[in-house]
Amino acid sequence: MQRSLKLTQIVKREDYDFGDIVLERCVSYFRGLHFTASLEFMDVPVLNKFDVANVCGNKMFMTLLLKKNNIPTPKTYFSFSSEGACREFRKSWISH
């Protein structure tokens, strides 16, 4: 089984034997995303499409999508630094 795709040349679906459809179930989130993107680039049908895996595998993207569609979610905080996370934790802890 070939374990790499070379995208520096024109890559066609016929160059690889993936079968009719691929079920992407990679343990590594990032490897799975990259593999799925490569398959979709070659027009290989993939279950667990890139767009779905990208959103569902990212807690912030998933939370934003749920909120946008008015789906109830637990109170959620996002911080982009350890200081911000500690500050939000202290504020929420004190308010209880």
Using CA atoms, how far residue 62 sits from 29, 33, 47, 56, 71, in Å, is 15, 16, 19, 6, 11
Lowest model confidence (mean pLDDT) among 20-29, 30-39, 71-80, 87-96: 87-96
Q: Is the dihedral of CA 33, 4, 2, 7 positive or negative?
A: positive
Domains of the chain are: 1-57 (3.40.50.20), 68-96 (no CATH)
DSSP characters over 43-64: T--EES-HHHHHHHT-HHHHHH
Q: Of all residues in the chain, what percent carry a pLDDT higher than 90?
A: 53
Residues 6+ apart with CB under 8 A from 24: 32, 35, 36, 39, 46, 47, 48, 53
Q: Is the pLDDT reported for residue 23 higher than 60?
A: yes
pLDDT at 47: 93
Structural contact between residues 35 and 24, judged by C-beta atoms closer than 8 angstroms: yes
Of the pLDDT bands very low, low, confident and very high (cuts 50, 70, 90), residue 1 is low
